[in-house]
Structure 1
Amino acid sequence: MYAAIMPRTSAGRTFGKRRLPHGCTLSLKLTLTRVRQWSSPTFQRDGQQDAAARMSRTDPIHLIIADPSENSAEELVSELRNAGHATRAQHISGLEQLDDLLDGQRWDMLLCRRSDEAEYTPEDLFARVRQQELDCAMILIEDSDDPARLTEGLRSGATDVILEGQDERFLLVVRRELGNVAQRRKRRQAELAMKESERRNQLLLDTSRAAIAYIHEGMHIYVNRAYVDLFGYADEDELAAIPLLDMIAGNHQSTFKQKLKDFDVDASAEPFPISGLRQNGEAFDATMVLTMAAFDGEPCMQVLIRREEQPAASSAELQQLRTQDPTTGLLNRPFFIERLEQIVDDARRERHSGGLMMLQIDHFAELREQAGLTGTDSVIRELAGVLAAETPDGVTLARLSDDTFSVVCINRGRDDLMQLAEHYRETVDTHMCTVGNRTIRATLSVGATLIGSRSESAQEALTQASRATSHVRDRNRQGNGVYLFDPADFTTERATSDSDDDRTREVLHLLSDGIKNNTLVLLYQPIISLRGEEREHYEVYLRLPDANGNLLRPDEFIHLAEQSGMGGRLDRWVVLQAVRRLATRRSEGRDTRLTINLTHNALTDDSFLPWLKVALKAAKLPREAVVLQFTEIAATTYLKHAKAFSEALSKLECMVSMSRFGGSVNPFGTLRHLQVVYVKIDGALVGDLNADETGRSKFRDMIRKLEDDGMLPVVPMVADAQILANLFQAGVNYVQGNYFAEPAAEMDFEFQSDL
């Protein structure tokens, strides 16, 4: 038995306040069949762009707070949320907790409070984040204004240092650094898109049947395989020192020179006949086209030569030679570099993290002198076999150079990477190689580096791994060790206005006039049960008209009302208007329930509850018709008052709801102290449903825990059928969002069931 949350229609009928397209069949019972349809890959692709646009506006700040006090951490979260920032915060008190959080997760910001009571130092935390190659803003909160300490904080890796009590500057710095992180991520995405485009273009050039070359000042700077084969050369490097003119048959050189002069004047792409000259002196006829181009950022000329010949098909043996090292049978350097570039690019897109290792044979010159050239090849082959046998699935092992093997992997955290590095080192250290009748012992210096969203390129990762390998031998001349690249070991230095006041006064004046003249606006949005409940349930939203008639949203004025002490007057106005409207509606025979939002002033105002009791009695409303709702941040900040408030409402048989749940450091810890019936999930968390299976699993666990504790979760911001399908699969009962109906001045949504 399932609820039909949209009326049946066959042509152009409305659902709530929304007009549906002609021809839609929308008796949307939430049956498993329909849910499967919504969950199909085709449906998800169709809604992917809209979902991405929506989430870009509602994504929370993924925040790590290092603070000895959880209460202090909650204060920082409260300050951010009061300023309009949705947060997903994690509190830590030590380095091990940071390691657990950094593995495989993306974070936007680390807030670190320096304290003598802490089990960490800011320098250690910042160094660990840098070591992970994560693009994460790091802000240090200091309790001393000593210039030397502030400078040291910046040197330790902090992007900025804030003094205790600088609340306004704190918010400005957070906003600036979040913007910087977002811009860096956008830049990386643009660079990746350009790099991918260049890679595709390069692939087209390399595989083209047409012979193509790029010429700068008469010399070849690039030739594709078809060009090399056409002129009869074995390798493109042979053409690097040969001028293009020397590859034109003598009887056509004067014609070609004239074409070059004409091209300098008018770079038209008109084809012309030419006679080419192969390496063996044989001439051939072809058609040539000259065009302007750029290669590696340099202006040059593109030469395109066409002949009516079919290139020979490459054999499987040739492909194998191109990807394998002939001595060891491992992957060769070019193929490995290509794989590494792919992993780095994916990490920059934040699809996964990665790790790179260089395994360098210690004292290779001495080994070669001892074993000879043939014996050295035998040792390298044997070591390659040993390493290959110890390489897990999903990890790529290759021979990078004469004395160096390389390993790249994905989705391995810092500890896993170092365990694998140590395993390789120990395996080779205990292995004895045999060359003829002699036994030769080899050891490895293993340098590793992490690959994350801030990794610039494959070449940079290789450089870091190489420096890490050298660092092993710097610490111990014999090598035979492992080391994870840490930038700190390689560098010594790191690097409210008058208009706001005017705006505040303007908003407070509008609020005061709105309360006095009843010009504030109430809107109503339905809360819908997916389990067949027929009661009408709406949430009440407040809007403030400005001088131009535009309706300001609560996040533009509520915090000002609370800070100015006007929140109490605002609460009374909203409750009074809402219960009057509700009383009229119920007198018409409607079984309607309203959820009314309150400011934190209602929690701390001892006179509010007696007033509320009188207001409800005067409206002759049953207690279950009204749900009073306050935010999680208000409850966290004023926990003692919120506890007393919820207990008093429970005695009055009024239901309590807490909104924006899940954004604090310890949301369930706050909830344990309150007598709450409904819990409205923070809308920013709804994005977890469209992220991946891990996000959906976390969301389902949160819903299940709330229901196990006897509370009723409400999920807002349902904007499309894909989210709705995921919510149904998660077992959610109550949903809300513009997909059903936008907040409206009238309570005219068509609640119905089709059982």
Structure 2
Amino acid sequence: MAASPDSVFQSLDNGNSPLELLMIGSSSEDAARIAAALRNSGQPVRLESTETREGLLRLLETEPADLVTINADSTALPPEQAIEMVREENPAASIILLSEHPPQWAEYASQAGLRDLLHSISTGRLVFAIQREYQTLLLRQELARLRDQLQGAEARFQKLLRSTRDAVAYLHEGTHIQSNPVYQELFGLSPEDMRGLTMLDLVAPEDRDDFRHLLKRARKEEFAEQELLFRHRQGGTFRARISVSPTQVHDEHCVQVIIRTEDAEDELQARINELIDRDPQTRLLNRHAFVRALESIQSGQGLPEDGLLMEVSIDNFAELCDREGLDKADCLLNEAAETLRGHFGGDLLSRFGDHEFLVLTRTDQAPDSAAAACLDALYQADLRSRCELDEEPEFSLGVIPTRQSEGLSALELVRRCRRAARQAREERQTQNEPISVFNDEMSGFADPGVNTEIVGMIDGALERDGFRLLYQPIVSLEGDTRE
């Protein structure tokens, strides 16, 4: 028995997302019948219907329609007017025309660019047409999303290509089709010079056979790398490592070329070392770099006899942060760092703590005189007015001569210097004396509540690399709390 067209429902896979449908000129009974047929076919639907011009205006003001059926036989709202109103709000709307006499509207439907023309009582065909147009709508939306993603990816790629420190180019049949500024600068070429230029022209004659072999490997979907001799536009040559790999640009098979010179690698390594060893705010050495440098000097030629290890602390820094704000506190740190850098010149200077600086300097002055000169330089810098502070920054200085370092580790020397600084802070508050020079009486000086035995064990383990990793927490970069 042949199946009736009205009983055939075909449901397309749309992820069960609800279909937004606007029916114009159809009665509420017809609209309910179509909605029921769609739901029975497995398609969720949100239906709006109207038979008047005023009702259509109200619905279109709420939300422009994407899927629309229009009853051409309606006398209350002519189809031409309804189509014009819908397309005024959404030119890309899919419109299906319904009529009890479809042949009479065939020419008009074709000229108006409608998506379909159906008999108004053919429910099965109408459901199929609605689902087909809905699927097309979803595909158009997905295509638009993918185009946006592609444009975003292309923009990010171009930004990355321009900002990378490597010389990068793309070749098609050995000819440059794209290159970044680093690549052009490496060979002394302008973007205009790169047009139509083959990569072979940039390779020294004695290495061209090797370069051809690299390109052949790249065309075979292989990654290849080799050191070659290249020619500069000015006539000189330089040796660099080139890596080639197959890729695609605008659906064209091409070869990606990356050239790295030793100078670029050395510069990158120097930059990495700077980031590791320097405080990002003041550009001074950080704590670990300072201790490492101190240990290196001590194990090498030894600490100088006329040297001093000095700590400079901004005692009221926390209060200034609370009262003056972080911007002014950061200004104070930077200005204090610049003042100390200017005062100590090329001496080993670091930001050792949040508001503490440590310096290894050489001087023929007595320790307290050297500290007093440093303190005077800080006050002469007029940091209060330069950072627009309401309160005067307060400093305390602890000093230990390096001649007292015999038999001491670098960490112990630093610890004794910091003990002197802590005592200076206490004496500044009670006796208005901001400078303290370490002496044997401070050997037992410690913060209340600090277990000196445990501190000694930790220092010993640090010196002998005696720590073992027993547990390392793993944190998800995507925010998964289960990891």
Structure 2-normalised TM-score? 0.45
Look at both structures and tell me which one has the larger radius of gyration over its CA atoms: 2
- State the structure with bigger RCO (CA 8 A, min sep 6), 1 or 2: 1
